[in-house]
Amino acid sequence: MSELLERIEGFPRVSLTHAPTPLEPAPRLGELLGLELLVKRDDCTGLAFGGNKTRQLEFYMGAAQAENADTILITGAVQSNFVRMAAAAAAKLGMDAYVQLEERVACVDDTYHNSGNVLLDDLLGAHRLSYPEGEDEAGADRALEELAKTLKDEGKRPYLIPLAPDHPPLGALGYALCAAELLEQRDDVDAYVVPSGSGATHTGLLFGLRALGDRTPVYGVCVRRAADLQRGRIARHCAAIADMLDLDVTVDNTDIIIDDRALAPGYGQLNKPTFEALRLAATMEGLLLDPTYTAKVLAGLIALAREGTLALDSRVVFLHTGGQPALFGYEPVLRDWLGRSGS
Ligand SMILES: Cc1ncc(COP(=O)(O)O)c(C=O)c1O
């Protein structure tokens, strides 16, 4: 067994993921883009519609159980998939969940606040709170710390899944494991294209590949913040995961590839290339993407292919990280885009 996998085995973990997830060809879309396109179906990880956060939650829930916690606390955007899957993991493990939903996206409506992931949070039995600020990660964590204190006073044993980047990126371990899973499936990939949000997925996959001796480029597409900010976050997370695992693996700054061209006008907001990417995947491959994360990543991939950064006929893996329940939270927005595109 590799040193990477041995070190990860030392961390408490709860099995939640249907793995290995399929790595399947997308030949029609691939032909359009001049690529051999493969989709890593991490939308099929299981756990209440699945997504990338299932792999990350294995380690958070493992840590919570190791501390004998009976309640988990988590914060995220109103249509957060992480929050929905954390609520599902808590339900499955017989724990309580407090979910704090942050107003991160401007110009949203009732559907956004009630349908999609929010409806699922309620069905999963989570206690739902709201937080007015969407761009204050430390503040959102502090609000949960206060709540944790209150719950402790009431005799509960809370475990907080933190948001701000100054905490060890425990969830990234799930994607370091996914790197090993991908290499088992194919060791002849030319490029990976992945989301870069909290950075746990991007960091874990990049660090995991390098720790396993694989040098394939990993393109991180920004879904949350601009490239200059995201680059520093990924660099710090890569150093932190090396520390956590006590591994002498350095991810060089030049090895951190970040592209924020698909981000505008901001987190959780559609733009034309993103809507087109969502439609292309749906109509050419029957593959549903979500408006906040995966469609932006595919829009980023399309831009990289069209400009030739992803070379003609190269074998490219698009990491599908799930998020489809949010489609229903965005129904009016998506109908508006469908109308504008004449569909
Ligand atoms: C569907 C989906 N894809 C991608 C991401 C971003 O992943 P990460 O936070 O690990 O960067 C998220 C995070 O919230 C997500 O819900």
What structural domains and CATH numbers belong to the chain? Answer: 3-51+168-340 (3.40.50.1100), 53-161 (3.40.50.1100)
Buried/exposed 237-272: b ≥16 CB within 10 Å, e otherwise: bbebbbebbebebebeeebbbbbbbbbeeebbbbbe
Distance 259 CA to ligand 1 centre (A): 16
What does pTM read for this prediction? 0.97
Q: Which atom of ligand 1 is nearest to the CA of 43?
A: 1
Decide the pairing of beta strands 127-131 and 36-41.
unpaired
Q: Which atom of ligand 1 is nearest to the CA of 77?
A: 14
Residues acting as catalytic residues: 80
| Residue 201, H or E segment | helix 200-211
| pLDDT of res. 118 | 98
Decide the pairing of beta strands 23-25 and 36-41.
antiparallel
Could you tell me the strand order of the sheet in which 127-131 lies? 127-131, 96-102, 71-77, 158-161
Single out the residue of 3, 8, 2 nearest to residue 176, CA to CA.
8
| pLDDT of res. 156 | 98
> Does ligand 1 come within 6 angstroms of the Cβ of 204?
no
- Give the C-alpha separation, 222 to 258, whole Å: 7
Compute CA 327 distance to the chain's CA centroid, rounded to the nearest angstrom.
16
| pLDDT of res. 164 | 82
Q: Which of 163, 201, 203 to mutate to test the pocket of ligand 1 (most atoms within 8 A of CB)?
A: 201
| pLDDT of res. 1 | 82
> Does ligand 1 come within 6 angstroms of the Cβ of 267?
no
* DSSP symbols for 303-324: HHHHTTSS-TT-EEEEEE-B-T
157-189 pLDDT, tens per residue?
999 999 888 889 999 999 999 999 999 999 999
| pLDDT of res. 342 | 78
315 phi/psi in degrees, rounded to 5: -95, 110
| pLDDT of res. 107 | 76
Q: Which atom of ligand 1 is nearest to the CA of 81?
A: 16
Spell out the residues 6+ positions from residue 312 whose beta carbon is closer than 8 angstroms to its own.
Answer: 34, 35
Cis peptide before 158 (omega within 30 of 0): no
> Does ligand 1 come within 6 angstroms of the Cβ of 100?
no
| pLDDT of res. 308 | 98
Burial class (CB in 10 A: 0-12, 13-18, 19+), 119: middle
> Does ligand 1 come within 6 angstroms of the Cβ of 268?
no
The ranges of the chain with pLDDT < 50 are none
27-58 pLDDT, tens per residue?
999 999 999 999 999 999 999 999 999 999 99
